[in-house]
């Protein structure tokens, strides 16, 4: 399965969840809990050591499903890792890994991408790829246009994240391979790329190969849904102080950091706090925001750019009213109760998996380190405004009552955990490969 992201994305930063600016603030007092923490740490790190100590060879051949002829130059990689290879003229490939990841992705131009669930009992694969045929997707591509000047900025923000500093460090190398299809009736933007999108991330010194499986944005309800496969080329090959610090800040407080800490039962040690969360939303503001989204969608579709998109309405009275309401908080009243996150976890020691399951809505607060923020400022790795928030807040909501399963490296399946706030806003510009090992 590709990585699936489904979230609310606010074009105007004033509507971000960061409207909540109150600091939330428990140590374990019993010997049993202390022992549990130490035991879980041992389990976590022993799993990491075991998984990275031995090297595994994955090899095989890639054939055309109909003709059984070899497929040359096919990309073979573990999703969201640095581990990959390319098939030769005989369709053969070989790659080396220190552990098995769930999804081995095979993609080639002119063929449908395929994923294989790898197994420790099988290291040699014969993979059959189907040629792409005329389908509804291809009809959509034929009617879509390369309107990069019209939709490129919005697409970059949705894909890379709403932090302008991080976006500036990323460059999409092949925008001509990206097509946009806009449905005016539904106010829905679909993005399609027949070739991998190449993204140069200068902050982390890597080239990301992104195979988009689905990418759609609903303007009216501000909802983004996309699924993709990613391969990281050259990540960390030329480490220096600036890049190491950029990678560090991208990891700390991230989804990967959160999931790995959950697995290790060390959330509080890693500066995370968990609360049960309830709130009363500002419905008037939601309605105004929806009207502004519809207005801006029409302007974008008409090719308007720059200051034209800053307007809220063509009617001066409506624009004045919208501006006043949008300055209000998106939450009228909210309440939190500190909870013990361990009640939401169950551990499968045989398969080294952790299940995370809860009801209602949780708030996760990550407390940033002041010394790290000072270092970022000195190295000019971020704007003062972006670094001023010490407590980073994220709302968690499960879309399926069965919960999600987490492995030691922070890989989560299936993708049923909806994140709104800081972790939800961290997109591809800040995303790290799953085989990255954090070293304090």
Going from N- to C-terminal start, the domains of the chain cover 48-129, 283-328
Tell me how far apart the alpha carbons of residues 403 and 6 are, in angstroms, rounded to a whole number. 16
Place 22 in a pLDDT band, splitting at 50, 70 and 90: very low
Per-residue confidence (pLDDT) for residue 416, from 0 to 100? 87
| Residue 331, H or E segment | strand 331-338
- pLDDT at position 177 over 70: yes
On average, the pLDDT of the chain sits at 83
Query: Angle at Cα 118 formed by Cα 115 and Cα 121, nearest 5°?
Result: 155
- Between residues 8 and 59, the one the model is more confident about: 59
**Is-contact 286 220, C-beta < 8 A?**
no
Tell me the per-residue pLDDT of 312-337, one tens digit each, with 9 for 90 and over. Answer: 999 999 999 999 999 999 999 999 99
Identify the top-confidence range among 23-27, 142-146, 268-272. 268-272
Per-residue confidence (pLDDT) for residue 318, from 0 to 100? 95
Place 144 in a pLDDT band, splitting at 50, 70 and 90: low
**Is-contact 425 161, C-beta < 8 A?**
yes
| Residue 155, H or E segment | helix 148-160
- pLDDT at position 15 over 50: no
Per-residue confidence (pLDDT) for residue 11, from 0 to 100? 33
- Between residues 92 and 137, the one the model is more confident about: 92
Work out the average pLDDT over 34-62: 59
Work out the average pLDDT over 219-227: 90
- Between residues 218 and 440, the one the model is more confident about: 218
Work out the average pLDDT over 184-194: 93
- pLDDT at position 248 over 50: yes
Place 372 in a pLDDT band, splitting at 50, 70 and 90: low
Tell me how far apart the alpha carbons of residues 296 and 220 are, in angstroms, rounded to a whole number. 10
| Residue 211, H or E segment | strand 206-218
Tell me how far apart the alpha carbons of residues 339 and 336 are, in angstroms, rounded to a whole number. 9
Which CATH code, of 2.60.40.1180, 3.40.630.30, 2.40.50.140, 2.60.40.1120, is assigned to 48-129? 2.60.40.1120
Q: What are the helix (H) ranges across 252-340? A: 255-264, 283-301, 316-326
Tell me how far apart the alpha carbons of residues 63 and 365 are, in angstroms, rounded to a whole number. 48
Place 2 in a pLDDT band, splitting at 50, 70 and 90: low
Per-residue confidence (pLDDT) for residue 24, from 0 to 100? 34
Q: What are the helix (H) ranges across 308-421? A: 316-326, 370-378, 384-387
pTM of the model: 0.81
Tell me the per-residue pLDDT of 396-430, one tens digit each, with 9 for 90 and over. Answer: 999 998 999 998 888 898 888 999 999 999 999 99
* Distance linking the first and last C-alpha atoms of the chain: 32
- pLDDT at position 84 over 80: yes
Question: Facing residues of 318 across strands?
Answer: none
Tell me how far apart the alpha carbons of residues 419 and 401 are, in angstroms, rounded to a whole number. 15
- pLDDT at position 50 over 70: no
Place 26 in a pLDDT band, splitting at 50, 70 and 90: very low
- Between residues 69 and 309, the one the model is more confident about: 69
Q: Of 3-17, 151-165, 408-422, which range is least confident?
A: 3-17
Query: Over pLDDT 70: what percentage of the chain?
Result: 80
Per-residue confidence (pLDDT) for residue 307, from 0 to 100? 78
Task: Count the alpha carbons within 13 Å of 192 in the hemisphere toward its beta carbon.
Answer: 16
Work out the average pLDDT over 20-25: 33
Tell me the per-residue pLDDT of 279-307, one tens digit each, with 9 for 90 and over. Answer: 999 999 999 999 999 999 999 999 888 77
DSSP 22: P
- pLDDT at position 34 over 50: no
Work out the average pLDDT over 173-177: 95
Place 1 in a pLDDT band, splitting at 50, 70 and 90: low
| Residue 423, H or E segment | helix 422-425
């Amino acid at each position: 399965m590709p990585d699936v992201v489904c979230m609310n994305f606010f074009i105007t930063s004033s509507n971000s969840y960061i409207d909540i600016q109150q600091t939330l603030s428990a140590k374990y007092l019993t010997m049993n809990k202390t022992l549990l923490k130490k035991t879980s740490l041992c389990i976590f790190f022993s799993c990491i050591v075991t998984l990275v100590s031995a090297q595994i060879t994955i090899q095989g051949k890639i054939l055309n499903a109909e003709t059984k002829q070899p497929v040359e130059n096919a990309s073979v990689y573990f999703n969201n890792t640095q581990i990959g290879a390319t098939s030769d003229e005989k369709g053969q490939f070989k790659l080396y890994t220190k552990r098995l990841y769930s999804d081995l992705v095979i993609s080639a131009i002119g063929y449908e991408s395929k994923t294989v669930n790898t197994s420790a009992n099988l290291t040699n694969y014969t993979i059959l790829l189907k040629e792409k045929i005329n389908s509804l997707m291809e009809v959509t591509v034929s009617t879509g246009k390369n309107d990069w000047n019209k939709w490129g900025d919005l697409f970059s923000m949705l894909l890379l994240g709403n932090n302008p500093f991080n976006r500036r460090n990323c460059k999409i190398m092949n925008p001509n391979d990206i097509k946009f299809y806009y449905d005016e009736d539904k106010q829905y933007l679909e993005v399609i790329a027949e070739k991998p999108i190449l993204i140069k991330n200068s902050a982390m010194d890597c080239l990301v190969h992104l195979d988009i499986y689905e990418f759609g944005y609903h303007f009216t309800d501000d909802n983004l849904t996309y699924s993709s496969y990613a391969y990281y080329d050259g990540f960390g090959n030329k480490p220096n102080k600036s890049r190491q610090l950029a990678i560090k800040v991208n990891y700390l407080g991230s989804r990967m950091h959160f999931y790995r800490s959950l697995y290790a039962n060390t959330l509080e040690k890693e500066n995370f706090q968990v609360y049960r969360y309830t709130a009363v939303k500002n419905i008037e503001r939601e309605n105004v925001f929806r009207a502004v989204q519809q207005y801006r969608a029409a302007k974008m579709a008409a090719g308007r750019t720059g200051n034209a998109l800053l307007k809220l309405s063509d009617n001066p009275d409506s624009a004045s009213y919208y501006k006043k309401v949008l300055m209000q908080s998106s939450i009228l009243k909210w309440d939190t109760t500190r909870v013990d996150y361990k009640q939401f976890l169950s551990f499968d020691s045989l398969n080294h998996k952790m299940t995370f399951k809860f009801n209602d809505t949780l708030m996760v607060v990550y407390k940033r380190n002041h010394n790290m923020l000072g270092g970022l400022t000195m190295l000019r790795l971020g704007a003062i405004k972006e670094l001023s928030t010490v407590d980073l807040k994220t709302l968690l909501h499960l879309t399926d009552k069965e919960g999600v399963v987490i492995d030691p490296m922070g890989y989560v399946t299936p993708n049923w955990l909806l994140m709104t706030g800081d972790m939800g806003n961290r997109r591809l510009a800040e995303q790290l490969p799953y085989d990255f090992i954090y070293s304090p």
